[in-house]
Each structure stands twice: as structure tokens, then as C-alpha cells.
Amino acid sequence: MNLLISGVTIVDPNSKFNQQIADVRLEQGRITAIGSKLTVKGEEVIDGKGCILSPGFFDLNCAIGDPGFETREDIATATETAKAGGFTGLAVLPQTKPVIHSKAEVAYIVNKAKNNLVDIFPIGAVSHDLEGKELAELYDMKLAGAVAFSDGSRPITDDGFMSRALQYAKGFDGLLMVYPENKSIAGKSQINESRNSVLLGMKGLPALAEEMHISRDIFLAGYHDAPVHISNISTAGSVLLVRKAKKEGLKITCDVAAHQLVFTEELLGDFDSNYKVKPPLRGKADVKALLAGLKDGTIDAVSSQHRPYEIEFKNVEFEIAAYGIIALQTVLPLLLKAGLDAVQIAAKLAVNPRKLLGLAVPVIEEGAAANFTLYNPAEEWLYNADSNFSKSANSPLMNKKLTGKVKLVYNNKQLQVYG
């Protein structure tokens, strides 16, 4: 489909048109012209006034249920949900059934996700069955299409195993993405350890559990001179640790979930299980530190931490509810609410995630293949059962008005327009 987007603000740090208002012409999947007052040549025209044109968003940390838990989310619904959130690429975690721990499961994801507007990339498990005992088929999975390796929402607790995994992955430039939690300290915690957890009478998860685990991985990354990506950091102390490691030249990168930049533990007073996430919602000082870390480059990227669950896993008492929320459609509104500008959103949500995985970064330039997201940062919309594309509905933002609306996404010669 040929398309002309008129009067749009281009925000792409890799484009010479960055932060310029222009018309953008699209023909046969390529950007053929960028300029002012382009002549309409019979193509569909979309008014881009007041909107931002960014490289397509990419998510580093998305759990879907396919294979095995398709009642939560399958590849088709994950794709629809991602498009509505402005994502043209997803890296999907291996916590499925069977676990993505061999080339067969990687090939299943790659083949099932073919010919989509949304590019889907499997992340292979570090350990067989996510048990943290036996190395999975890392090299074979990479050859089959895995872009990184992670045990998903499970921390790698055995120090020796983590050390061996780093050594092995380094041999073929494999990237390990780790969830930071010291299980022996975390125990059966429910929420952040603080005055609030005492008031609510619930077991608290101390920041120490996250920070000790990060300290270990930083030490091992330095010892092996190998890259480690830390997923979903949540504390001020974690930001300090990563900042120091980067200054020392260690190969440490990290991301933060969008909801950790807005939600705090004060929201838990009503025991709404839709606010139950892991790592838990922290305090205001942590949120401030996370935002500062994003702005100074300590935190490389923002992720959705999309975790769909059937109603019976969330519509229960807080103590037994599953951890996690659906998030692909709400990342953009949360980042805008957190105060990120369009330049920061493009960097942390489109460019850096792909760089971390060694993937090609789309650019808004003449002659380039079109892979972009158009959104209106000021438009309000209602997030409810009608606008939710996920199979699941475990979001604390359900039935609320949000600001920041995706208008269209384009990738792989496919267009999706939203009203």
C-alpha cells in the first residue's frame, strides 16, 4: 500500500530529519520521499499533524503462552496487542510449555511468527526446563534464530552455573539476560519491604535481594569479560550498581519495566492483585532514581514485562495471585505519564532494544525499508474490554482513560491503522 503521512514530526536519532516536521511518502514498503508539501500522487493520505513518527517500537521482555499456555496469549493475539501498542518487534521469553530450550522450540516460534507485521524473535532458555542445573542447547538455538538467552522470570541462583553459562555463551557472542533476585533472601515475599509492607502485614521483598544478585552478575561479567543484560531493575541501589559498572567499562546493560516508572507501593493499599508484579512496586525514591538512570544512559531500554494470565490466576486473594500484568498496549501512555519526551521514547523503546540484541535498527530516511510507529502523544483513549487486544485482562489500567494513542504501525510491507 502506498501512503503519504503529512505534517508529521519525525523523531529518530539516526535520521537526518530528526525532530523535523515533514511529509513522508511510502511506496511498496519503502520510504521514497521526505520533505515539505509533497505532491499527492493518488496514495492514501494520513494527517500527521500533532503526531510523532518514530522507528517501530521493540520489546525486550514479553511473555506469551505459545506453546502450552495459549489460553493466556498466543502468537496471533500477542501480535495484535503489540501492534496496538506501537510495537513492530518482540523478543519473547522461553517460559512456555515446553520451555524454549532447544532448536526445535526456537524453530516453532520462528516458523509460526513468519509473515507478520510484528517481527517475533525467540529468546532461548539458559538452562534446561529453566531449572538452573543443566545448560540448554545455547549454540544450536542461536543457529536456529534465538537472539539471546534467559531463564525468564526465574533467577539463575547457582553462581557456578551462571559462571559456566557466561563462559560458554561468550564463545559464540551469545547474550545472557538475567532476572535479578537472590532467592534465599527474597523467600516467599509479596511486596516491597518497607514501612508499607509492615502496615499491610505482608512479607516484604528487600531491595537487597535484587542488588546482591546484580552485584554477583557484575562481578562475573568482569571476571569473564562477557556481556550480561539485567532485566527489569527496580531499585535506586540497582541503578547505582549498574552506573558504576558501566563507568568501569564492564559489559553490563539493563532495562526497566514501564510500570516501574509510574506505579509505587502506595497503590497496594486496596490489595488489588493487578498491581502484584515482580520485582514489586517500589518507593518514590526508587522511581526517581530509575527515571534519572534512564535519562543519563545508565538504563539502556524500557520493556513491557508483558505477563498475561487467565482470570483465575489474578481475581483471587493478593497473597496467592500470580505476579504480572499485561502491558504491551500501555507502555507508551506510561512513558508519557512518567515524563519521557519523544526523543527518549525513540531511543529507549525502538533503537536501543534492537542494538542490545544485535538486530538491524530501522531508520526514517529516504530509500529505507519502512518500519515505524505513528502516535499522538496528546490523544486520550479508553482502555477497556473493547480496546484490549490481549486474551487476558490483568491490568490495573483497565477501564481507565490513557493519554498517548498509537495511530498506525507499518513493517514488512504491512500497515495497521487505528482510529
Domain with residue 9: its CATH number is 2.30.40.10
Q: Are residues 124 and 68 in the same domain?
A: yes
In total, how many domains does the chain have? 2
Residue 355 has pLDDT above 90, yes or no: yes
What is the residue-averaged pLDDT of the chain? Answer: 97
Domain with residue 277: its CATH number is 3.20.20.140
CB atoms within 10 A of CB 318: 18
Q: Are residues 141 and 130 in the same domain?
A: yes
Residue 275 has pLDDT above 80, yes or no: yes
Residue 388 has pLDDT above 80, yes or no: yes
Q: Are residues 254 and 135 in the same domain?
A: yes
Give the pLDDT mean for 267-295. Answer: 97
Of the pLDDT bands very low, low, confident and very high (cuts 50, 70, 90), residue 1 is confident
Q: Are residues 34 and 179 in the same domain?
A: no
Residue 115 has pLDDT above 80, yes or no: yes
Q: Are strands 30-35 and 20-27 parallel, antiparallel or unpaired?
A: antiparallel
Which pLDDT score, from 0 to 100, does residue 6 have?
97
Of the pLDDT bands very low, low, confident and very high (cuts 50, 70, 90), residue 85 is very high
C-alpha cell at 110: 520462528
Q: Are residues 408 and 311 in the same domain?
A: no
Q: Are residues 383 and 326 in the same domain?
A: no
Which pLDDT score, from 0 to 100, does residue 419 have?
80
Q: Are residues 225 and 338 in the same domain?
A: yes
Relative orientation angle of helices 236-247 and 284-295, to the nearest 10 degrees: 30
C-alpha cell at 75: 502468537
Which pLDDT score, from 0 to 100, does residue 213 have?
98
Structural domain harbouring 270: 56-357
Give the pLDDT mean for 271-286. Answer: 97
Residue 392 has pLDDT above 80, yes or no: yes
The pTM score is 0.97
Q: Are residues 332 and 370 in the same domain?
A: no
Give the pLDDT mean for 22-41. Answer: 95
Please say which residue of 311, 330, 357 terminates a domain: 357
Of the pLDDT bands very low, low, confident and very high (cuts 50, 70, 90), residue 338 is very high
d(CA 191, CA 100): 29
Please answer whether residues 119 and 90 qualify as being in contact, where contact means their C-beta atoms are separated by less than 8 angstroms.
yes
Give the pLDDT mean for 269-293. Answer: 97
CA 177 and chain centroid, separation: 12
Give Rg (Cα) of the chain.
Answer: 21
Give the pLDDT mean for 103-126. Answer: 97
Which pLDDT score, from 0 to 100, does residue 62 have?
98
- For 205-233, what is each residue's pLDDT tens digit? 999 999 999 999 999 999 999 999 999 99
Q: Are residues 27 and 73 in the same domain?
A: no
Please say which residue of 341, 357, 373 terminates a domain: 357
Relative orientation angle of helices 159-170 and 207-224, to the nearest 10 degrees: 40
Top pLDDT among 91 and 37 is at: 91
Which pLDDT score, from 0 to 100, does residue 70 have?
96
Please say which residue of 313, 330, 357 terminates a domain: 357
- For 393-409, what is each residue's pLDDT tens digit? 999 999 999 999 999 99
Q: Are residues 170 and 210 in the same domain?
A: yes
Q: Are residues 280 and 386 in the same domain?
A: no
End-to-end CA distance of the chain: 18
Q: Are residues 237 and 258 in the same domain?
A: yes
